[in-house]
Amino acid sequence: MSEENKIIGPIESTKKIEGRKIMTGQIKRNMEGTIEIKLQSSIDWKMFKRAGKDTIKIGNVECYYPRNDSVPGVKGFFYYDNVFENNDFPNLCLILAKEIEKGVTFVFNSYPISEVRIKNWIQKFNEQIKILYLSYCKPINISISITSEIVEREFHD
């Protein structure tokens, strides 16, 4: 193929931007099969909670009731049940833990789950939390200026 006829693909440029730490956590299963999920987040997730101070217990942790079962753009759901997942998606009520900013430990009784499935849960939880943060919580500050300037164009034959 001659130099003239080479097909050059589009030039793609990606740049990694140092992000804010949204959440930290750890998941353990002990010999008895108990699942422990430790989470800590400095993000104020309370925008997803129902007005009021009513709470539910999920994994022995007090969590606020969610405002809605789901939010647009997010595949996961906020479940009222004492589960860490439902229909293969993480229970988003975990982020509504009353003291998540200090760190909380959810404990779920004996539950058969493979390491592969736990890793899949972590991946989905990561995706859902990132979407919630970027779509609903990340601060945005954009300035605009609107003027009455008009662009005039001339056309000639």
Domain boundaries, the chain: 24-137
Name the least confident of 17-26, 97-106, 147-156. 147-156
pLDDT, average across residues 100-114 = 89
pLDDT, tens digit (0-9, with 9 covering 90-100), for 116-151 = 989 999 999 999 999 999 999 988 898 888 888 776
Residue with tokens 């099969």: 33
What pLDDT score was predicted for residue 98? Answer: 94
CA pair distance 67, 48, nearest whole angstrom? 6
CA pair distance 71, 127, nearest whole angstrom? 14
Neighbours of 39 (CB within 10 A): 20
